Amino acid sequence: MRRTEYLPGDNVTDSLLNWIRPEIRALSAYHVADAEGMVKLDAMENPYALPQTDRSDWLNKVSEAEINRYPDPHARKLKLALNALMQPPAGTATLLGNGSDEIIQMLALAVAQPGRCIMAFEPGFVMYRMIAEFTGMQYVGAPLDDDFEIDVVKTLRLIDQHQPAIIFIAYPNNPTANCFHASAIEQIIKFAPGMVVIDEAYHPFAQDSYIDTLAQHEKLLVMRTVSKMGLAGLRLGVLFGHPLLINEIDKVRLPYNINVLTQKAAAAILKKPQAMEQQAAQIRQQREVMLQQLADMPDVKVYPSRANFILFRLLQANATEVFEKLKQQGVLIKNMSAAGGVLENCLRVTVGTEEENAVFMRAIARAMNNE
C-alpha cells in the first residue's frame, strides 16, 4: 500500500541517520519556549510596538516592494540607513545578515578548517558554541571569574594555547548583562592572532561602543542587530569592519539573504529612530527600577546590568521551582539554572513594560513565598 503520511512513532533507519554528522546528532536544537498567552520576559525583546504614525510610514514603503523580483543583493539603501544611524568610521565596510545569528555563521564558515577554533566566554551566548559545532570547528569557552569579568591571565593563556580564528566578545554579555572591563578587552585585541568580534547586540541599553575604535585595529569587527531595538521580527544584523576582511566574509553570504520586505521596512524605520530611542530610554529607566526592587528582596542576589535584561541568583529558594511557579502565573522568564556552574540557581528576566514588570515582581514575590 502506498503510504500517504508519516505515523507517530515512525523510525528512520539508523543507516540513514548515520549520514548526519555525529556532532550534529549530538546537539540539541536551540530551544524556544512556547510563550502563547504569557507575559513574555524571556527573549530580550523590546516590549513596545512602533507608534501608529511610524507604522503607516514603513507599511507604505513595504507596499511598494516588488516581490516578484529578487531583492537588491547588496541592500544598498538599507546599508546607507544603517551607516547613517550607527556611524562607523569613514571607509568601514558593512555586511548584513538575517539576524546577527547569520553573521556569526558567515564568520565561522569563512574561517572553518579542521583543527581551528572559535573562542568566546562562558557563561555566554550559546550560538557561538553551536555555530562552531555546525561548521566543524572546535569551540573554546574561556571561563569568566566569579564577578562575570574576564580573567585576563587565563584568557591570554587559552588564546596562546588554541590560537582562535575568531574571538567573540558580547558587550554587554548575555546572560550576565555586564560590559567587560575595557583593559581586558584591549589586551585580548592586542594578543589575538585572528579576528575579534565585539557583539554589541545590546548597544541601545549600554550606550557604549567599540565602533569608533574600528580603524585602530584591522582585526576588530563590530556586530550590531536591530532585534533588541524593537525590530526582532525583521531579522537583521550588521557587521562593520575592514573592507578587505568584510569582502572575504561576504563571499560565503547567500546572495539574497536580506529579503525585500526587511530591506524596505528597516530602511524606512531606521531613518526615523526617535521612537525606538525613546523606548530604549524607557527600558533603561525601568531596568533601574527592577534592579532596585530585586535587590530589595531577601534571598536574591542581583547582578548589575547594562542590557535590557537582569540576571539574578536565588540564595535559598530553588530557581527551577520558582521559574515553574512563575510560568503557572503566566510569566515566562529564562531559567539559567540548568547550565549549572556559575549560573547555578540563576534566573534571567527581560525588562518589559512597566505593567509587565509589575506583574513579574508580584508573581516572583508570590513564588518565593511558596504561594
Binding site for ligand PMP (CB under 6 A): 44, 99-101, 125, 170, 174, 199, 201, 225, 227, 232, 237
Closest to ligand PMP by CB, 163 vs 209, is 209
Closest to ligand PMP by CB, 46 vs 225, is 225
CB of 9 to ligand PMP, least distance (A): 35
Q: Which residues pair with 118 in a beta bridge?
A: 139, 166
CB of 237 to ligand PMP, least distance (A): 4
CB of 228 to ligand PMP, least distance (A): 8
Question: CB nearest ligand PMP: which residue?
Answer: 99
Closest to ligand PMP by CB, 273 vs 325, is 273
Task: Tell me if 69 sits within 8 A of 260, measured CB to CB.
Answer: yes
CB of 170 to ligand PMP, least distance (A): 4
Torsion over CA of 59, 63, 65 and 69, rounded to 10 degrees? 140
Count of positions (residues) in the chain: 371
Closest to ligand PMP by CB, 128 vs 325, is 128
Task: Tell me if 154 sits within 8 A of 143, measured CB to CB.
Answer: yes
CB atoms near residue 161 (< 10 Å): 10
Closest to ligand PMP by CB, 140 vs 367, is 140
Measure the CA–CA gap between 7 and 10, rounded to whole angstroms: 5
CB of 130 to ligand PMP, least distance (A): 12
Q: Judging by DSSP bridges, how do beta strands 93-97 and 334-335 pair with one another? A: unpaired
Contacts of 246 (CB under 8 A, 6+ apart): 93, 94, 95, 221, 239, 240
CB of 307 to ligand PMP, least distance (A): 8
Closest to ligand PMP by CB, 177 vs 367, is 177
Reading phi first (left if > 0) and then psi (alpha if -120 to 50, else beta), residue 105 is in: alpha
